[in-house]
Amino acid sequence: MSDPGDAAVSPGSGDGRVVVDLRGIRKEFPGVVACDDANLTVRAGTIHALLGENGAGKTSLVNVLGGVYLPDDGEIWVHGRQRQFHSPADAIAAGIGMVHQEFRLVPTLTVFENVVLGSAPRYLDMGQIIERVAHLAATYSLQTDPSRPVWQLSVGERQRVEILKALWRDADVLVLDEPTAVLTPAEAADLGLTLRSMADRGRSVIYISHKLDEVLSVCDEATVLRNGVTVAQPRSLAGIDRSDLAEMMVGEAAAEIQRPTDQPSGDVVLALEGVSALSDRGLPALHSVDIDVRAGEIVGVAGVSGNGQRELAEAIAGLRPTTAGTMQLEEADITGASPRARSRAGLAYVPEDRLGVGLAPTMSVVDNAVVRSYRSMRRRMMLDLRRCEDFCRRLVERFGVQVGRVHEPVSALSGGNLQRLLLGRELTGEPKVLVAAQPTRGLDVAGIAAIQSQIVAQRAAGVGVLLISEDLDELLALSDRLIVMYEGEVAARMDPTQVTRAEVGAAMAGTAQA
């Protein structure tokens, strides 16, 4: 958030009345305890931060409050009354408004239709409803055009529609799950103002985040979760700084990512020249991008999500047609080549969407392991199943994938194991270039460490790595060179050993010169 300071000490207009009180919540999923004795106390007129690392149980806890999950144990108190939420509708009726990480919007419907869906008047008087939605939006300075279809909106606008949905239902508790993850800094600042104006009107906001500076500038109070347990509940954030919060979240000092030792880099193995491509919506997403990756180096790509990183990865993988420019892998021109041709030329690709694009969820571990190299496991016209299984077992062992049976569907695996399997599959056959998009997102600490050490090992083995990530610490620690994407262009090229986080942040916001 670009506007620190003022909000950190203001107590909001709340009278200290407790609006939401979650006591001893426990929620278990097969094999995972998401919440275990989690407590959350939110007062009227405050913005309450819910902090914790990935997998600390923040999302599960608010989903219990939102009626999405039924808790296995514990009590939900709202406005001093104990409640049982059997469905999201129950929670909505109690005044809980949820803005999930994945928006719950219907793209083909208009903004106002999305806003009123579920609590519309019996007859839809268009003029009147549009006017009321516009008035509500203006009250909380949420800029939007009520009659535009949602599919035409930017991510930031969609988030405003989600907030409007909650306000339309007169929610007095608004829950936002990592709201700024998808926003530009300017949009994030606007969101901060909107939330403050809600708190000033006596509503409460539960703000899930792990961006500590943002929490300090926006929030009044905080609850910190660690491994599903509430470990701290500071009533005021005044006098608390980043490192205090970080310590509460992590417990002990977080393991520093080891910077790989310097090594001379080799020849250029991947060369992009003037590459342009369109987004899913047919708008320009990449404008004449030049990137070189040399053998034995890691080139990091930073940027706020939605600035062309996904399109860049897909264009290199051959999953998205380019509209201009050339791509070269070692000596070969791969500009118009099929994904298979690129893979044979030595390209390994770990997509952002690991269970969907990367792996086929309902297929078995074996089948997923061999889809890239099954051609070498044929016996005449048939697949040699024993060789497939052997191949899979070796892969599982080498990359430390924890599986029950190799014939069970991969959807049963945890995120970390999915990623180990996917990375392992892509790294068989000694690739020349590895393109990894968000390879550690959403993984636990052990998973992150395993994936990062594999990437470093590939670098040592002379592979050219393009690492696209939203985790700045990871990029700064692992990259030999850093590229910042902004609105589909390379906004800056930096030396990760010479820049500060703030400088990278400024480039991500489009305020630094390339």
**Interacting residues with another protein (CB under 8 A):** 29, 68-69, 87-89, 92-93, 98, 100, 104-109, 113, 116-124, 126, 151, 165, 281-282
Burial class (CB in 10 A: 0-12, 13-18, 19+), 173: buried
Rounded to 5 degrees, what are φ and ψ at 331? -90, -20
Q: Can you spell out the DSSP letters for 215-231?
A: HHHH-SEEEEEETTEEE
144 token code pair = 């939007």
Complex with another protein: residue 281 or 405, whichever CB lies closer: 281
Complex with another protein: residue 165 or 196, whichever CB lies closer: 165
- 364 by DSSP, 3-state: which? strand
Complex with another protein: residue 98 or 484, whichever CB lies closer: 98
Least distance to another protein from the beta carbon of 449, Å?
Answer: 25
Q: Can you spell out the DSSP letters for 14-26?
A: --S-EEEEEEEEE
Complex with another protein: residue 111 or 370, whichever CB lies closer: 111
Amino acid at 194: T
Least distance to another protein from the beta carbon of 77, Å?
Answer: 21
Long-range pairs, 389-392, Cβ under 8 A, ≥24: 392/365, 392/366
Evaluate the CA torsion angle 403, 405, 410, 414 in order and state its sign: negative
Amino acid at 472: L
Least distance to another protein from the beta carbon of 283, Å?
Answer: 8
Least distance to another protein from the beta carbon of 444, Å?
Answer: 16
Q: What is the DSSP letter of 287?
A: E
- Beta-carbon contacts of 414 under 8 Å, excluding residues fewer than 6 positions away, are 31, 32, 402, 447
The secondary element (H helix, E strand) that includes residue 113 is helix 111-116
Complex with another protein: residue 179 or 300, whichever CB lies closer: 179
Least distance to another protein from the beta carbon of 70, Å?
Answer: 8
Complex with another protein: residue 120 or 446, whichever CB lies closer: 120
| C-beta atoms surrounding 513 within 10 Å | 7
Least distance to another protein from the beta carbon of 323, Å?
Answer: 13
Complex with another protein: residue 105 or 199, whichever CB lies closer: 105
252 token code pair = 């002990």
60 token code pair = 């599960």
Least distance to another protein from the beta carbon of 414, Å?
Answer: 12
Least distance to another protein from the beta carbon of 74, Å?
Answer: 18
Q: How far apart are CA 37 and CA 27, in angstroms?
A: 9
Specify the pairing of strand 96-99 against strand 268-278.
unpaired
Least distance to another protein from the beta carbon of 128, Å?
Answer: 12
Complex with another protein: residue 154 or 376, whichever CB lies closer: 154
Complex with another protein: residue 119 or 141, whichever CB lies closer: 119
